[in-house]
Amino acid sequence: MSAQKREFINNEILTSSIVAGLGRGYSVYSNKKVLEKNRNELKRYLRGKLVVYSKKYSKKITSEDHFKSIEKFANGVTKDYKNILNDGYFMIGRAQKLLNLYLKFQWVLGWIPEPPHCPLDYRIIKKLDSNISWTKMNEINEYQFLVEKAEREAKKQNLSLAKWELQLWNSLTFNQGKF
């Protein structure tokens, strides 16, 4: 694949990851009056951080290191954008969704090895029989709890967490008529 084609695909998966990570449920921003300029600045920042964080995934990393990356990612966004974020925080749930989804796209494209976790959103969490909202999740221990539940489900099917979620996501999408 040419560098130009790869850049195009990477821009598309960054956009898709950000739309999915910011676009659902509980508000990201402190109020509806946050300027579009500030929202776009945050999105550019997230794009850059996702690219930076993803570089360390060119090699397989541990689940524990991934937990630390998610927490560091959320804390960095909070520190730099506290003034425009709802309750002054960038939620762990949003950080995990952004990073995990971006890594999932890269893995599916064969650009990186299989990531240690998977994107946890409403549809996946519902299958785990949990009422934790990914958009309101702001504690790493809540995320760890969900990962442990998902790992148990994956193990029942003799699958890794990433492969389990990919299979589940595909079946949920197909069964709901989404293409």
- What would the 3-class secondary structure string for the chain be? CCHHHHHHHHHHHHHHHHHHHHCCCCCCECCCCCCHHHHHHHHHHHHHHHHHHHHHHHCCCCHHHHHHHHHHHHHHHHHHHHHHEHHHCCCHHHHHHHHHHHHHHHHHCCCCCCCCCCCCCHHHHHHCCCCCCCCCCCCHHHHHHHHHHHHHHHHHCCCCHHHHHHHHHHHHHHHCCCC
* pLDDT at residue 176, as a whole number: 61
Ranges of the chain whose pLDDT falls below 50: 179
What token pair was written down for 151? 């790992």
pLDDT in tens, 72-114: 999 999 999 999 999 999 999 999 999 999 999 999 999 999 9
* pLDDT at residue 179, as a whole number: 46
Instruction: Please name the amino acid found at residue 93.
Output: G
* pLDDT at residue 33, as a whole number: 78
Q: Are 108 and 28 in contact (CB under 8 A)?
A: no
The residues spanned by each domain of the chain are 3-175
Q: Is 69 exposed, middle or buried (0-12, 13-18, 19+ CB in 10 A)?
A: buried
* pLDDT at residue 29, as a whole number: 85
